[in-house]
Amino acid sequence: MTDHLPIQLALDVLATRHAYAVFTVLLCIGLYMMIANPHLVKKIIGLNLFQTAIFLFFIASAYVHGGSIPIVESGGAPEATLVSPLPQVIVLTAIVVGVSLTAVGLALCVRIYTEYGTLRTDALREAMAEEDDLPAAGGDSPSAGGGSPSAGGGSPGGERA
Protein backbone atom coordinates (compact mmCIF):
# COMPACT_ATOMS: atom_id res chain seq x y z
CA MET A 1 0.00 0.00 0.00
CA THR A 2 2.85 2.44 0.76
CA ASP A 3 4.49 1.58 -2.60
CA HIS A 4 1.65 3.35 -4.44
CA LEU A 5 1.82 6.49 -2.33
CA PRO A 6 4.19 8.54 -4.59
CA ILE A 7 2.26 7.57 -7.71
CA GLN A 8 -1.04 8.34 -6.06
CA LEU A 9 0.33 11.64 -4.80
CA ALA A 10 1.53 12.54 -8.30
CA LEU A 11 -1.87 11.68 -9.78
CA ASP A 12 -3.60 13.78 -7.12
CA VAL A 13 -1.36 16.74 -7.92
CA LEU A 14 -2.02 16.36 -11.66
CA ALA A 15 -5.77 16.07 -11.09
CA THR A 16 -6.03 19.10 -8.82
CA ARG A 17 -3.29 21.30 -10.27
CA HIS A 18 -3.66 20.58 -13.97
CA ALA A 19 -2.88 24.20 -14.90
CA TYR A 20 0.62 23.75 -13.51
CA ALA A 21 1.06 20.54 -15.49
CA VAL A 22 0.00 22.36 -18.68
CA PHE A 23 2.36 25.20 -17.73
CA THR A 24 5.25 22.78 -17.39
CA VAL A 25 4.52 21.05 -20.70
CA LEU A 26 4.17 24.35 -22.61
CA LEU A 27 7.31 25.74 -21.01
CA CYS A 28 9.38 22.67 -21.93
CA ILE A 29 8.06 22.53 -25.51
CA GLY A 30 8.70 26.25 -26.03
CA LEU A 31 12.19 26.09 -24.57
CA TYR A 32 13.02 23.03 -26.68
CA MET A 33 11.77 24.72 -29.85
CA MET A 34 13.85 27.83 -29.16
CA ILE A 35 17.04 25.88 -28.49
CA ALA A 36 16.90 22.88 -30.80
CA ASN A 37 15.13 24.13 -33.91
CA PRO A 38 17.31 25.74 -36.59
CA HIS A 39 14.40 27.53 -38.31
CA LEU A 40 13.90 31.16 -37.20
CA VAL A 41 10.10 31.21 -37.50
CA LYS A 42 9.86 28.03 -35.42
CA LYS A 43 12.08 29.69 -32.82
CA ILE A 44 9.58 32.57 -32.66
CA ILE A 45 6.73 30.07 -32.28
CA GLY A 46 8.68 28.45 -29.43
CA LEU A 47 9.13 31.85 -27.83
CA ASN A 48 5.36 32.41 -28.00
CA LEU A 49 4.70 29.02 -26.39
CA PHE A 50 7.18 29.89 -23.64
CA GLN A 51 5.43 33.23 -23.06
CA THR A 52 2.02 31.56 -23.00
CA ALA A 53 3.27 29.15 -20.34
CA ILE A 54 4.43 32.06 -18.20
CA PHE A 55 1.04 33.78 -18.63
CA LEU A 56 -0.74 30.59 -17.60
CA PHE A 57 1.48 30.31 -14.53
CA PHE A 58 0.70 33.87 -13.45
CA ILE A 59 -3.04 33.43 -13.92
CA ALA A 60 -3.13 30.00 -12.27
CA SER A 61 -1.15 31.17 -9.27
CA ALA A 62 -3.42 34.19 -8.81
CA TYR A 63 -6.62 32.15 -8.80
CA VAL A 64 -8.48 32.26 -5.49
CA HIS A 65 -11.33 29.81 -4.98
CA GLY A 66 -14.41 31.78 -4.00
CA GLY A 67 -12.70 35.12 -4.54
CA SER A 68 -14.50 38.17 -5.84
CA ILE A 69 -13.47 41.24 -7.76
CA PRO A 70 -11.73 43.91 -5.66
CA ILE A 71 -14.40 46.58 -5.87
CA VAL A 72 -15.48 47.78 -2.45
CA GLU A 73 -18.37 50.17 -2.21
CA SER A 74 -17.81 53.33 -0.19
CA GLY A 75 -18.27 52.92 3.50
CA GLY A 76 -18.61 49.17 3.35
CA ALA A 77 -16.11 46.60 4.48
CA PRO A 78 -15.39 43.71 2.14
CA GLU A 79 -17.32 40.63 3.17
CA ALA A 80 -15.82 38.14 0.77
CA THR A 81 -12.27 37.23 -0.13
CA LEU A 82 -10.92 39.66 -2.71
CA VAL A 83 -8.66 38.74 -5.60
CA SER A 84 -5.64 40.85 -6.45
CA PRO A 85 -5.89 42.29 -9.97
CA LEU A 86 -2.13 42.74 -10.28
CA PRO A 87 -1.35 39.37 -11.99
CA GLN A 88 -4.02 39.98 -14.63
CA VAL A 89 -2.68 43.48 -15.28
CA ILE A 90 0.87 42.18 -15.61
CA VAL A 91 -0.24 39.43 -17.99
CA LEU A 92 -2.23 41.89 -20.09
CA THR A 93 0.84 44.11 -20.41
CA ALA A 94 3.00 41.10 -21.20
CA ILE A 95 0.59 40.00 -23.93
CA VAL A 96 0.95 43.40 -25.62
CA VAL A 97 4.74 43.23 -25.34
CA GLY A 98 4.70 39.64 -26.64
CA VAL A 99 2.63 40.54 -29.69
CA SER A 100 4.99 43.43 -30.45
CA LEU A 101 8.02 41.19 -30.02
CA THR A 102 6.50 38.61 -32.35
CA ALA A 103 5.73 41.25 -34.97
CA VAL A 104 9.29 42.59 -34.88
CA GLY A 105 10.72 39.06 -35.02
CA LEU A 106 8.58 38.11 -38.00
CA ALA A 107 9.46 41.37 -39.78
CA LEU A 108 13.14 40.57 -39.26
CA CYS A 109 12.53 37.07 -40.62
CA VAL A 110 10.97 38.54 -43.77
CA ARG A 111 13.98 40.85 -44.18
CA ILE A 112 16.46 38.01 -43.61
CA TYR A 113 14.62 35.78 -46.07
CA THR A 114 14.64 38.57 -48.66
CA GLU A 115 18.37 39.08 -48.19
CA TYR A 116 19.59 35.47 -47.92
CA GLY A 117 16.75 33.30 -49.24
CA THR A 118 16.61 31.05 -46.17
CA LEU A 119 15.57 31.12 -42.53
CA ARG A 120 17.69 28.19 -41.33
CA THR A 121 20.44 29.33 -38.99
CA ASP A 122 23.06 26.95 -40.35
CA ALA A 123 22.48 28.10 -43.94
CA LEU A 124 22.51 31.72 -42.77
CA ARG A 125 25.90 31.23 -41.10
CA GLU A 126 27.29 29.73 -44.30
CA ALA A 127 25.86 32.52 -46.45
CA MET A 128 27.15 35.21 -44.09
CA ALA A 129 30.59 33.56 -43.94
CA GLU A 130 30.77 33.56 -47.73
CA GLU A 131 29.96 37.28 -47.77
CA ASP A 132 32.34 38.01 -44.84
CA ASP A 133 29.44 39.44 -42.82
CA LEU A 134 30.23 37.35 -39.75
CA PRO A 135 32.32 39.03 -37.05
CA ALA A 136 35.67 37.47 -36.24
CA ALA A 137 35.77 34.96 -33.40
CA GLY A 138 38.16 37.15 -31.36
CA GLY A 139 36.09 40.22 -32.05
CA ASP A 140 38.75 42.88 -31.45
CA SER A 141 41.42 42.15 -34.05
CA PRO A 142 41.81 44.88 -36.66
CA SER A 143 41.08 43.90 -40.21
CA ALA A 144 43.96 42.94 -42.51
CA GLY A 145 42.67 45.30 -45.17
CA GLY A 146 44.67 48.24 -43.81
CA GLY A 147 41.90 50.10 -41.99
CA SER A 148 42.98 52.63 -39.41
CA PRO A 149 42.59 51.71 -35.74
CA SER A 150 40.67 54.90 -35.08
CA ALA A 151 38.05 54.14 -37.71
CA GLY A 152 35.82 52.59 -35.04
CA GLY A 153 35.89 55.72 -32.96
CA GLY A 154 38.36 54.60 -30.30
CA SER A 155 42.05 54.23 -29.76
CA PRO A 156 43.78 50.82 -29.82
CA GLY A 157 44.02 50.87 -26.03
CA GLY A 158 40.27 51.23 -25.72
CA GLU A 159 40.40 54.75 -24.25
CA ARG A 160 38.46 57.63 -25.66
CA ALA A 161 39.63 61.22 -25.64
81 touches 66 (CB < 8 A): yes
pTM (2 decimals)? 0.69
Measured on CA atoms in the order 88, 94, 96, 102, is the torsion positive or negative?
negative
Q: What is the pLDDT of residues 94-142, one digit of tens each?
A: 999 999 999 999 999 999 999 999 999 999 988 888 887 776 665 554 4
**What CA–CA distance (Å, rounded) separates 152 from 135?**
14
